[in-house]
Amino acid sequence: DSVAAILVAAGRGERAGRSIEGPKQYRSIGGRAVLAHTLAAFRSHPRIDDIVIVIHADDTELCERALGPNIAGAFLVTGGAERQISVRCGLEFLATARPTPRIVLIHDAVRPFIDHETIDRVIVAAEDFGGAIPAMPIADTIKRASSDATIAETVPRRGLFGAQTPQGFHFEGIRDAHEKAARSGRSDFTDDASIAEWAGTTVMLVEGAVGNVKLTTRQDIAAADRTLKERQA
């Protein structure tokens, strides 16, 4: 069965601060762009047939420069102002493909350390159950804050997981769920699993990876760069 991957890379990356290299997915870590690492991980996976990269309308040149000749064969699609909209742009692009994929993996371009084993676990569970996400148990004790920064509540940690990507789904199911969410004016979903859950799809948790971090801040990018350079040394 065919598997497509959507790499969402249309964010402005404001939390990582401004840089001449542009948003964080285009910053260089270990000698190449974050997005180039992410693309390579999916490109080299034997089960992935098509890769769609969703980018900001202003970033075409930045993306071409970041990927160089590796851009060949990937489909570039323009995204929107919210992650949820960017994902939908990727899904609508795939809906025009013939044949449409059976499974779609939706991945944050800013998680460049995704490994093949995690991708495999997501594909297998998504095929069997309709939806699957990689997740890791929460290690910290979780507090809910009051508006004055005092602790309102300690949330029992048992059964709590941090959601990673790629999140995998039957293509038609997640496409319908996104369309329904857009029609009902909902734009507050923070990942694709929450849209699938809201639409009634069963979503399985599979084991994520400690290394599959989301590069969010300037410090995250600097740390990733150091790690890769140490590995190369």
Closest approach of ligand C5P to the CB of residue 25, in Å: 5
Nearer to ligand C5P, 50 or 108 (CB): 108
Instruction: Indicate which single residue of 8, 119, 123, 193 sits in contact with ligand C5P (rule: CB under 6 A).
Output: 8
Residue 195 interacting with ligand C5P (CB under 6 A):
no
**For tokens 């769609």, what's the residue?**
52
Ramachandran bin of 68, using left for φ above 0, alpha for ψ from -120 to 50, beta for the remaining angles: left
- Beta strands (DSSP E) in the chain are 3-9, 28-29, 32-33, 50-55, 75-78, 103-108, 131-137, 142-145, 151-155, 161-163, 167-170, 204-207
* CB of 81 vs ligand C5P, minimal distance in Å: 5
Among 3, 5, 6, 25, binds ligand C5P (CB under 6 A): 25
CA distance linking residue 179 with residue 92, whole number of Å: 9
Q: Which stretch binds ligand C5P (CB under 6 A): 103-111, 115-123, 129-137, 225-233?
A: 103-111
* Closer residue to ligand C5P (CB): 11 or 131: 11
DSSP string for 79-144:
--SSHHHHHHHHHHHHHTSSSPPSEEEEEETT-TT--HHHHHHHHHHHHHHSEEEEEEE--SPEEE
**Counting contacts by CB under 6 A, is residue 22 touching ligand C5P?**
no
Binding-site member from 108, 114, 126, 132 for ligand C5P (CB under 6 A): 108
Q: What is the per-residue binding string for ligand C5P in 60-99, x denoting contact by CB under 6 A?
A: -------------------xxxxx--x-------------
| Count of residues of this chain found to bind ligand C5P when the rule CB under 6 A is applied | 16
CA–CA separation, 102 and 104 (whole Å): 7
Q: Give contact residues for ligand C5P (rule: CB under 6 A).
A: 8-11, 25, 54, 79-83, 86, 108-110, 216
